[in-house]
A and B are shown apart, each in its own frame.
Chain A
Amino acid sequence: MQQTHVPRWAERYPGLGTEPLPVDSYTSPDHYALEQEKVFKKAWLIVGRVEEVPKAGDFKIKRIAVARTSVILMRGRDGEIRAFHNVCSHRANQVVAEKGEETFGRSPAATMFCGFHGWVYNAKGELINVPQEQSFYDCFEKKSAGLTQVHTGIWNGFVFINFSVSPRETLEENMREFDAHLGAYPFHDITYQFTYAAVLDCNWKVALDGFSEIYHLSHLHARTLPGSFTEGFEAIKLLGDHRTSALYLDTAAEFTELQKISNSYAVVSLMVQKGGSMLPPTINPERKANFGFELSPVFPNTIIHCTDGIWFTHQFWPVGYNRVLWEGKYYLRKPRTNSQMWAAHHAQTITRNVWLEDAGTLESTQKGLESGAKTHLILQDEEILLRHSHHILGKYINA
């Protein structure tokens, strides 16, 4: 085919290549086993926000199927958030009962109590009480029978964990370039939250890829977002293992009747031009009035998006080689009036519909990949974020 424009991103990042991607990493159980051991048990993973466990004794339990475990995050009396496998040291029962993929709770005494035989741990994971302790043998030592701790780190209020015994890099080292770009965004100020989750029959990277390009916007979302965004990313930057990009709104987009009304009440909306008064200078640096949002994938399985007064994340948690738990979390500044709150819900309904349209492609893509009809996927220049994601994945797998 005739090349009609310069492939600007491939030119800027020649190390990523331009060749088609093999499909095996989406369809092979063996590749998935490698990802489990070499990616999800080695990389820093976002499992929560500090606001989810605001006070001493507050906890969150998150199931992490890809690592075959659940992790309990508890804030201690010292203010520190620590992470432990939710597994009792006695006979490996779940310590704190789980109610689903994410369980939230509070222990006024900041302790964890196993419902099976009553072993009690403090928020540092130390075993502090064992019923009938005198009946255990001499080889049992309470002080070495604490919960199994998992490394934690906090970046801008995001709680990360790392399952390796000794992580190759500290979180600070791993996030250095990302931090220089997004470290000043005030996530903690924007906490009014909508959360969606769905389990989809596709490889986790099919879902991650689907949300990592905007080539699809004018086709897949033609009904819900008619002409809303300009074509192509701006400001793609590779940030170590991570990456970022920006979307701009098409100023010619026409709003529906209710959208116009909703926009007039909304404090913030993804569809309203914002300019970016509260954004750090690294985001929308030219302060263009039609800034849409920053889209920033954090390796391996999270995408953080932020704009003026709204941020949202997508996370893709593998459940198997062809199954994924997708969690979408959407946050905006707390509305102050009923009409602002209604406008926020209206804008969020539009976002939900966009996400539903996204969901519609993922399972059929997996079926296509598994059909064996194609050995490779063809990517265009605007899909370079996917290419970088696969590149970093390869780095971890070959490490």
Chain B
Amino acid sequence: MPDTDSRLPVGFEGLEPLVSEWALDTQTQREIKRLRSTPEEIRGFYNAVMPRIRDILDEVDRFPIGELPEPHARLFALAFSLAEVAPNVELYGGDIQVTHNFDERRFDARHGDHPSPKGLAAR
């Protein structure tokens, strides 16, 4: 889904430069992005978004699940990417991998291609 529009809701314009790289819809896309990043890149992203995470969550909570306008969906996708990289920054010393002896791409997330900001379909 090539989305060239990178506008975010009012008040979050400062995060717009992150949108094209990090506003990713699905868990699988975010995991691949982490694995293709450098430790400096994930730390830079974490440092930029972390101070705004409570504001982001409060902003998206103005809407019901699945009904976010496009700029809010992009903002929310940044929050999901923060969740994806945070353990690596906070717990693994910036290492982009979770483990060194198992290739995590072999671990197939059957929900992994579902757009997270819309909520997973309950089965």
The 8 Å CB contact of A349, one of B53, B58, B84, is: B84
Q: A259-B90, A338-B60, A339-B60 are in contact. List 7 more A-B contacts (CB 8 A).
A: A193-B111, A195-B110, A338-B65, A349-B84, A353-B98, A357-B99, A359-B106
Residues of B contacting A338 with CB < 8 Å? 57, 60-61, 63-65, 68, 76, 117
A390 at the interface (CB under 8 A from B): no
A13 at the interface (CB under 8 A from B): no
Stretch at the interface among A139-147, A242-250, A340-348, A368-376: A340-348
The 5 nearest A-B residue pairs measured at CB: A346-B83, A256-B90, A339-B57, A360-B102, A195-B110
Residues of A contacting B64 with CB < 8 Å? 338
Query: How many A-B Cβ pairs are below 8 Å?
Result: 116
Q: Mark A185-218, 1 if CB is under 8 A from B, else 0.
A: 0000001111111110000000000000000000
B119 at the interface (CB under 8 A from A): yes
A350 at the interface (CB under 8 A from B): yes
> How many residues of chain B are within 8 Å of chain A by beta carbon?
41
Residues of chain A touching chain B, judged by Cβ–Cβ distance below 8 Å, are: 51-52, 102, 104, 191-199, 223-224, 226, 256-259, 261-262, 265, 334-339, 341-342, 345-346, 349-350, 352-353, 355-357, 359-361, 363-364
Instruction: Tell me the complex Cα distance, A339–B53, Å.
Output: 10
Instruction: Tell me the complex Cα distance, A355–B80, Å.
Output: 19
| Interface contact A342-B79, CB-CB below 8 Å | yes
Residues of B contacting A104 with CB < 8 Å? 123
Instruction: Tell me the complex Cα distance, A300–B82, Å.
Output: 39
| Interface contact A193-B120, CB-CB below 8 Å | yes
| Interface contact A346-B86, CB-CB below 8 Å | yes
Residues of B contacting A256 with CB < 8 Å? 86-87, 90-91
The 8 Å CB contact of B107, one of A192, A257, A350, A359, is: A359
| Interface contact B80-A197, CB-CB below 8 Å | no
| Interface contact B119-A335, CB-CB below 8 Å | yes
With A197-B110, A258-B82, A360-B99 already in contact, the answer to whether A223 and B50 are too (CB < 8 A) is no
Residues of B contacting A226 with CB < 8 Å? 91
Interface residues in B70-123 (C-beta closer than 8 Å to A) = 76, 79-80, 82-84, 86-87, 90-92, 98-102, 104, 106-111, 116-117, 119-120, 122-123
Residues of chain B touching chain A, judged by Cβ–Cβ distance below 8 Å, are: 27, 50, 53-54, 57-58, 60-61, 63-65, 68, 76, 79-80, 82-84, 86-87, 90-92, 98-102, 104, 106-111, 116-117, 119-120, 122-123
Give, as a whole number of angstroms, the nearest-CB distance from A107 to chain B.
17
Residues of A contacting B116 with CB < 8 Å? 341, 345
With A197-B110, A198-B107, A338-B61 already in contact, the answer to whether A258 and B83 are too (CB < 8 A) is yes
| Interface contact A337-B65, CB-CB below 8 Å | yes
Instruction: Tell me the complex Cα distance, A342–B54, Å.
Output: 11
Instruction: Tell me the complex Cα distance, A52–B123, Å.
Output: 6
| Interface contact B90-A258, CB-CB below 8 Å | yes
| Interface contact B57-A356, CB-CB below 8 Å | no
Residues of B contacting A345 with CB < 8 Å? 27, 80, 83, 116
B114, closest chain A residue (CB): A194
Residues of B contacting A258 with CB < 8 Å? 50, 53, 82-83, 86, 90
| Interface contact B101-A364, CB-CB below 8 Å | yes
Instruction: Tell me the complex Cα distance, A256–B117, Å.
Output: 24
A191, closest chain B residue (CB): B122
Residues of A contacting B123 with CB < 8 Å? 51-52, 104, 191, 193
Instruction: Tell me the complex Cα distance, A337–B79, Å.
Output: 14
Residues of B contacting A335 with CB < 8 Å? 65, 119
| Interface contact B122-A193, CB-CB below 8 Å | yes
A193, closest chain B residue (CB): B123
Give, as a whole number of angstroms, the nearest-CB distance from B16 to chain A.
20
The 8 Å CB contact of A194, one of B79, B100, B109, is: B109
| Interface contact A349-B83, CB-CB below 8 Å | yes
With A262-B83, A346-B83 already in contact, the answer to whether A334 and B53 are too (CB < 8 A) is no
| Interface contact A198-B122, CB-CB below 8 Å | no
Instruction: Tell me the complex Cα distance, A120–B1, Å.
Output: 40
With A339-B60, A353-B98 already in contact, the answer to whether A196 and B82 are too (CB < 8 A) is no
